[in-house]
Chains A and B, each alone.
Chain A
Amino acid sequence: MSAKISQFYMALTMILMLFSIVTLYMAAEAYISGDAEKGNYLMMAGAMGLSLSLLFLTQTRKPKLTLILKPPRVVTTIICEKCGFKKVREFVKGDYIFKKVEKCPKCNEDMIIVSIYKSEKIP
C-alpha cells in the first residue's frame, strides 16, 4: 500500500539529506578557515535542508499494518479439579472457559479449561 509513496519520497528525502550534510560539512570547513560569513549561510542552508528531510522522513513513516491483523498468541490453561494437575498450551479453535477437555493423565478425570488469555509466551 505505501510502497509507491515511500520509494519516491524516500529518494527525494535521501538526496536532500545528503546535500544538507555536505552543506553542513562545508559550513564547518568555512568556519575553520575563518570565513564566518560564508559559514553562517552554509550552516543555515544545511540546517534548513536537514530539518526538511527529517520532516519528510517522519511523515512517510507508516506503522506496520500487518502487525495489527496478526493474531496474538493466546494461551489456554487446563486443570484437573480432582488432583490439581495443570497444563498450559496454545489456544485451539473451539476452546472456551469451563469446557471439559481431555482426561487427566494422573487420575483419568475430566480436565476443564479455567483460563484463556493473550500472552507473549507460554509460561
Chain B
Amino acid sequence: MIMQFPPAPNTTLGVILQIIFLVLFIIFMFFGQRIQVYTMLKQVEGSLNELKFMRDEGRKIAIKTLQEAGGAENLVERVDQFLEHVAIQPESMDPAGVVWKLEHIMNVREDRFLEEVRRMAPKADEVQLRNLEHLLEASLALNLIYKTIRHYFLLGKKTLSLYIIMQLQMLMPLILREARAYASALNAFVYGHPIGDGVGSLVAAKLMRNHEIKPIAKDIVMAEVEIEGRHAYIIKAEGPGSKVGKPGDAVRKIIEENNGKIAAIIFIDAALKLEGEKVGEIAEAIGVAIGGVGIEKYKVEDIVTKYKIPVHAVIIKEDVGDAISPMSKEIFKAADAAIERIKALLLERTKEGDKVIIAGIGNTMGIGQ
C-alpha cells in the first residue's frame, strides 16, 4: 500500500493540523511581508544593541583613560561633547580648489581635537596626547555608526518600509565588522600598541635606523640613506605617538629641493586584503599608496605628474580589523619581506647613483625611529 503524506484528515489530529495549515496559509498570504519586516527589524535591533554596547564601552574606556592622564573637572561633559563632533564637508559645486578647502577644514579639525584633548588630559605628554586623540576618534566613530544605524532603524520602524529595513539588515554584517574593528582598536590606543596600519612606518623606521633623522613636514621625519648604491630619502610619520603626518608635503618638498630630479618614489603602505588573501601578503602596485581623505595623495599625484616621476608602491595586505588593532606577527614579519621587495624594485627600476624617495605610510603609534 502506498501511504499518502500528509494523509487525509479523517482523524481529530488531522483536522486540527489542516485548520492550522489553512490559517497559517491565509496569515502568510495577507501579512507575509509584514511578518518579514518585523523579523528583519528584530534582527537589526539585536545588532543595534551590539553597536550601542560598543559605543558605551568606547565612551567608558575613553573617560577612564583620560582620568588616568589627569582628567579635567568636567571631563564627562567634555567627552560627550567631543563624541558629537562633525566635520562639514566643503561645497563641491565648483570642484576647482576643493582639495585645499578640505585640507583647511581637516587641519582646523585636527588642531581643535588636539587642543580639546590637551584640556581634557592636562598631565599627558605629547605621545600620550596623540594616542588619546585617536582613542577619542575611535569612540567618535563608534558613536557615529550607532547613531546612523539607529536613525535608519527608527525610520524603518516608523514607516515599515521594507526597502529601508531590508537594506539595513543586508548591510548589517559589514557594518558590525567595521564597528568591531573600531572597538578592538580602543585598547590599542589606550596602551600605545603598534597597529597593523603602521607597517609602512615600520618599514621606513627599519630603513632609517642609525642615520641622521630630521623633521621635514608636519609630523614627518626624513633620513638620507644609501641603499643598493642609490641615494634614498626615507620618510615616515614621527613616532612613537599616534600620528600619520603629512607625507604629501614631505614628498613635494624633497622633489622641489632636488628640482624634480628624483628617479622614482616608492610608497609602502598597508592595504585592505580581499577575502581569501593571506594577512601579510605583499604585492607591488603603480601609483600613490596613501589612504585617508585623499589630500596627501592629491598633492603627490600633482607634483609627480608635473615632473613625470615614476611612482611605485609595495603594499602589505591586511583586514580592516588588523589595520587598527595591535600588529600581528604575520604583519610584523611582512616588514622585512617588504624591505627585500623595495631593494629589488630599486635594482630593477633605477640606476646606481639615482635619487629616490621611499615613503613609509601609516599610523606610527608604538614605532620609533
Complex contact B193–A91 (CB within 8 A): yes
**A16 interfacial contact with B, CB 8 Å:** no
Q: Which of A40, A74, A95, A98 contacts B369 (CB 8 A)?
A: A98
Judging by beta carbons under 8 Å apart, are A69 and B192 in contact? no
Q: Is the CB of B17 within 8 A of A94?
A: no
Q: Does B209 belong to the interface (CB within 8 Å)?
A: yes
The answer on a CB contact under 8 Å between A40 and B5 is yes
Kindly state whether residue B92 has any CB partner on chain A within 8 Å. Answer: no
* Interface check A7, CB cutoff 8 A: no
Q: Which residues of B contact A95 (CB under 8 A)?
A: 192, 366
Q: Classify the interface of chain B: helix, strand, loop or mixed.
A: helix
Which residues of chain B are within 8 angstroms of A99 by Cβ–Cβ distance? 240, 368
Supposing A96-B192, A96-B366, A98-B209 touch, asked if A117 and B326 sit within 8 A by C-beta, the answer is yes
For chain A, which range describes its interface: under 10, 10 to 19, 20 to 34, or 35 or more residues?
Answer: 20 to 34
Cβ of B169 under 8 Å from chain A: no
Contacts of B328-365 to chain A: CB distance below 8 A: 328-329, 331-332
User: Is the C-beta of B11 less than 8 angstroms from some C-beta in chain A?
Assistant: yes
- CB <8 Å contact, B327 and A116: yes
Q: How far is the CA of A44 from the CA of B7 in the complex (A)?
A: 11
A116 touches B209 (CB 8 A): no
How far, in angstroms, from A85 to B77 measured CA to CA in the complex? 49
Contacts of B17 in A (CB 8 A): 41, 44-45
Q: Cβ of A41: which chain B residues have Cβ within 8 Å of it?
A: 6-7, 11, 13-14, 17
For the complex formed, measure the closest distance between the CB of A34 and the CB atoms of chain B, giving whole angstroms.
Answer: 12
CB of A117 within 8 A of CB of B332, answer yes
- Interface presence of B36 (CB below 8 A): no
Residues of chain A lying within 8 A (CB to CB) of residue B192: 93-96
Residues of A within 8 A of B301 (CB): none
Judging by beta carbons under 8 Å apart, are A97 and B183 in contact?
Answer: no
Taking a contact as CB atoms closer than 8 A, the residue among A44, A62, A69, A96 that contacts B367 in the complex is A96
Identity of the chain B residue whose Cβ is nearest the Cβ of A37 in the assembled complex: B7
Complex contact B332–A40 (CB within 8 A): no
Residue on A nearest B181 in the bound complex, by CB: A68
Chain A residues in 8 Å Cβ range of B11: 37-38, 41
Nearest CB of chain B from residue A24's CB, rounded to whole Å:
15
Q: Is B46 an interface residue (CB 8 A)?
A: yes
- Confirm or deny: B72 has a beta carbon within 8 angstroms of a beta carbon on chain A: no
Q: Is A82 an interface residue (CB 8 A)?
A: no
Q: Which residue of B lies closest to A99 (CB)?
A: B368
**Contact string against B for A residues 57-92, beta-carbon threshold 8 Å, 1 for contact and 0 otherwise:** 001001101001111101000000000000000010
Q: Is A115 an interface residue (CB 8 A)?
A: yes
Q: List 12 A-B contacts (CB under 8 A).
A: A5-B46, A65-B53, A72-B184, A95-B366, A96-B192, A97-B240, A97-B366, A117-B328, A117-B332, A118-B193, A118-B327, A118-B329
Q: Show the binding face of B for A, using Cβ within 8 Å.
A: 3, 5-7, 11, 13-14, 17, 42-43, 46, 49-50, 52-54, 57, 61, 180, 183-184, 186-187, 190-194, 202, 205, 209, 239-240, 325-329, 331-332, 366-369
8 A-B pairs besides A37-B3, A98-B205 with CB distance below 8 A are A2-B49, A41-B7, A41-B13, A59-B46, A62-B50, A68-B54, A117-B327, A118-B329
